[in-house]
Structure 1
Amino acid sequence: MSERPTEADFGYFFEIPTRWSDCDMLGHVNNARYFTFDESARLDYFAPLIGNDAAFWRKAGFILARIECDFIAQVHHPAQIRFGFRLRRIGRSSMNTEGGMFIDGKLVAVTRGVLVWFDYENAKAVSVPEHVKAFIRSRERIAPEEAS
């Protein structure tokens, strides 16, 4: 596992209150929910870019290629999760994401994913557009690594 993120690493946060339905039989938030939390933060992060563009998901946009999670501490309901989300790297057609889930300043989980900029009409990966790179750069506290 790479170095664990801190709240200071993130320029964007998404607040997530846990729900009773997030819990499993052991009384903690079920591990599958962490991926839903990541999805919610990811979509909110990109919402200003997507806007009301009806073609975004039909013509070109990102697609999730990989996701993983390091579970660091149990989360019990009720809890308020402060989910930091960032893009660590922008490649030619892929982008590496990282999410840090914090409760009262304590890191409880880390998600890492790979997004691919995707041409939905031709079902293939394409280069990340410059306006998308500029959008990401404007949101990040720590500049993402970029492929040359």
Structure 2
Amino acid sequence: MSPQTSRPAPLRRTDFKAFLTIPTRWMDVDIYGHVNNVQYLSFFDTAVNSWYVENGLLDPVKSSEIFVVVETGCHYFAEITFPDTVTAGLRIERLGSSSVVFRVGLFTGEALETAAHGRFVHVLVDRPTRRPLPISEQKREVLESLTA
């Protein structure tokens, strides 16, 4: 398969289940005048962890179990600039015994298609040992609200 045929297309807002608005910052912009690619992964991380906190799955300071990133990837379709507001859309593509595969889409303004979207994989671990843990039924029920 050639690179042209394997490249995914932008996704639409309707492809996502939950949303978080994140303002861009002056420091996010690189010398080329757009938000630097590394910031897109920061937006992913902010969106997913904010959703965990908002839904009672994570207390960043006190939780004995935490989610750690084991894989990320991003496809870029349009530039994000400053000042702009990014809306991060979330959905879960796969819920494993200890892992969660998120699809995160980044939208600018009122755009209906993603400026970028990517894969963000978390594994639930014991905070002190960093060993994987099974996702409890209580957590699983909350996570299932984002399944595609």
TM-score by length of 1: 0.84
Report the alpha carbon displacement of residue 51 of structure 1 after superposing the two structures with TM: 5.9
Instruction: Give the alignment's Cα RMSD to 1 decimal.
Output: 1.9
Candidates 78, 83, 91, aligned match of 1:86: 91
Unmatched 5+ stretches in structure 2:
1-6
Query: Relative to total residues, which structure has the larger strand share, 1 or 2?
Result: 1
Indicate whether 1:31 and 2:60 are aligned: no
Identical amino acids, percent of aligned pairs: 27
Given residue 103 of structure 2, which amino acid in structure 1 is its aligned partner?
E
Aligned match of 2:131 = 124
Candidates 9, 17, 23, aligned match of 1:17: 23
TM-score by length of 2: 0.84
Residues 32-90 of structure 1: CA distance to partner in whole angstroms, max 9, x if unpaired? 1111111110111111224658531xx21211111111111111212111110121110
Q: Secondary structure at the match of 1:136?
A: helix
- 8 Å Cα contact 2:10/2:116 also seen in 1: no
Aligned match of 2:101 = 96
Candidates 62, 74, 77, aligned match of 1:55: 62
The count of aligned residue pairs is 139
Indicate whether 1:108 and 2:115 are aligned: yes
Identify if the C-alpha distance between structure 1 residues 119 and 3 changes in structure 2 by more than 3 Å, giving closer, same or farther. farther
Report the alpha carbon displacement of residue 124 of structure 1 after superposing the two structures with TM: 1.1
Report the alpha carbon displacement of residue 4 of structure 1 after superposing the two structures with TM: 4.3
> What is the alpha-carbon distance in structure 2 between the residues aligned to residue 122 and residue 15 of structure 1?
33
Q: Secondary structure at the match of 1:125?
A: coil
Aligned match of 2:74 = 69
> What is the alpha-carbon distance in structure 2 between the residues aligned to residue 7 and residue 40 of structure 1?
18
Aligned match of 2:46 = 40
> What is the alpha-carbon distance in structure 2 between the residues aligned to residue 60 and residue 20 of structure 1?
34
The 4+ residue runs of structure 1 with deviation greater than 4 A are: 1-4, 51-54
